[in-house]
Amino acid sequence: MPRTRRQLSQHDAAPDLPTSLTKATRSSRRSRSVVEKETDSRVKKEEHDSENEDDDDPKLFVLDGEEFTSYQSFVEAKRKRNQAVLTKLGFGSGESGNKRLKIGSNPSTSATQRGLRSNKKKTPKPMVRSRKSSRISGDRTKLVALDMYVNDWHRDNTATIVTNDGADEKDDDDVDDKPISYFKGRVNDGSPLSLKDAIELNEPKWIHDESEGIAERLLKELAAGNKESSSDCNRMQTSPGRRTKGANPRASPTSVMSSSWETELTEKIDSLSIDKEEWVCKVTPDRIYSVATHPSESKLICCAGDKQGYIGLWDVDGVSRNDGDGKSNDNTGIVSLFHVHSRPICCLDWLNNEHMVTSSYDGSVRRLNVETGVFEEIFATYDDSDSTYLEDLGYGLDQGYRFWTQDVTVDHRYRGSSNPCLFVSTSVGDVFHVDLRASKKEKITFYESVSDKKINTVR
């Protein structure tokens, strides 16, 4: 094939190289390619050998002394073990296996009808406009592409706002209201949540007209009960009574137990059952992660935290009210729902009759004050990406998307105090202790990494 002008010019411009240099260059290129091929083959062989070693020594999963080579078989064996334990305790599946649940099968009083209920008010559907020609309706938005004066039309029909600085801004109606996102998807920036705020953060279907009134009434009853119990304690302490000389008034009385206490306790546990409809109630929208009961002796209040960060307070002894005739109805399960966290609730613990600690996987810890009805954030973890939280105690503790607070436990030595101390475990195997007793001297007393995996419980 004859050469083109460009090839001829390049050939004339290129200097004449010696034949020996050309052969040496070709041989070096050939040797380099051979070395690369040998290197690639050696690397592939090493990878293949490592895979074979992994196959020869597979990872073992141990459960109750039994080894499993596959994770799936390990999970199935664990489920069977848990089901066997539930069956032994009387909570098996089916009517024959579940010996504890003795509730009738009346559909009008089923457990799903009690407690938390969805708002059945239907939102009005938007009216669907009938199809009409854009030319007949006078709508020029669809015809603007065919208009040869499209730039003039946009100029004449666009609203702009000129500020004092001379910059143009869009009309407020054209700006979409985007929801504000907080760290770790939390419900707010750490500000205290009032009772109304915590209820309004619920999904609309869980909000009713009487939700706020029921919650306020429940907390008022708890606050009143706390004052009565404190006055009773004061009367008991001031009332004259027989006391041994030299005895410690704070020492607990010596417990007297019969020799057959173990048999009696076993019989009582075996006789436990759920045989009343009033003892079953839907308290939270999603799966329950933590449970606590109020320490009141006059009123039974059960608290539950679910997977989505909801906290439900169930007044077990409460009676619903009928606003029509003013008479009390049967107990249908009075539940007050609050959304104070954005991820699963890992801890619910009452410090005393007035304060409850709530914590979540989102890294925040709040304290409910029964008298004020405020959920106040007392501790939270942050990373070092935002200097806004530089002064916070938990600044720099968060280590990324694989980090969350797995468990939070109140230090039992300071349980009665409204400003507690906390033991916190994380998903990356860290444990630390937070001292919140003094507001201006809050500190982390120790921080240790004790495991490569998450720590589920701290006690």
Residues 213 and 153 reside in one and the same domain: no
Residues 384 and 315 reside in one and the same domain: yes
| Full 3-state SS string of 25-54 | HHHHHHHHHHHHHHHHHHHHHHHHHHHHHH
Interval 61-79: pLDDT, tens? 888 888 898 888 988 999 9
pLDDT for res 237: 47
Residue 313's contacts (CB-CB under 8 Å, 6 or more residues apart) are: 215, 218, 301, 302, 303, 335, 336, 338
**Token digits of residue 84:** 């066997």
pLDDT for res 236: 45
Strand partners, 432: 424, 447
Residues 179 and 90 reside in one and the same domain: no
Residues 85 and 219 reside in one and the same domain: no
Residues 157 and 225 reside in one and the same domain: no
Cβ count near 61 (within 10 Å): 17
Q: Are 312 and 281 in contact (CB under 8 A)?
A: no
Q: Which residues of the chain have a pLDDT value below 70? A: 1-58, 93-99, 101-112, 121-177, 226-259, 319-332
Residues 95 and 159 reside in one and the same domain: no
Residue 402's contacts (CB-CB under 8 Å, 6 or more residues apart) are: 427, 428
Any domain includes 254: no
Any domain includes 112: no
**Token digits of residue 59:** 């990872």
Residues 291 and 408 reside in one and the same domain: yes
Q: Are 432 and 422 in contact (CB under 8 A)?
A: no
Residues 344 and 198 reside in one and the same domain: yes
Count of domains in the chain?
Answer: 3
Any domain includes 104: no
Any domain includes 281: yes
Residues 82 and 164 reside in one and the same domain: no
Q: For residue 430, give the H/E element and its range.
A: strand 430-435
Q: Phi first, then psi: what are they for 268, rounded to 5°?
A: -65, -40
Residues 312 and 384 reside in one and the same domain: yes
**Token digits of residue 331:** 């107990």
Any domain includes 24: no
CA 362/CA 347 separation, integer angstroms: 12
Closest CA to 412 of 423, 398, 427, 426: 423
Which residue among 183, 212, 240 closes a domain? Answer: 183
Residues 213 and 324 reside in one and the same domain: yes
Any domain includes 161: yes
Interval 125-149: pLDDT, tens? 555 555 555 555 555 555 444 454 5
Q: State the DSSP string of 332-397.
A: --EEEEEE--SS-EEEEEESSSSEEEEEETTSEEEEEETTTTEEEEEEE-B-TT-GGGTTSTTBT-
Any domain includes 406: yes
pLDDT for res 64: 86
Q: How many residues does the chain have?
A: 459
Residues 94 and 215 reside in one and the same domain: no
Please give the residue range of the domain that contains residue 176: 143-183
CA 185/CA 459 separation, integer angstroms: 28
Any domain includes 327: yes
pLDDT for res 240: 45
Closest CA to 409 of 373, 379, 441: 379
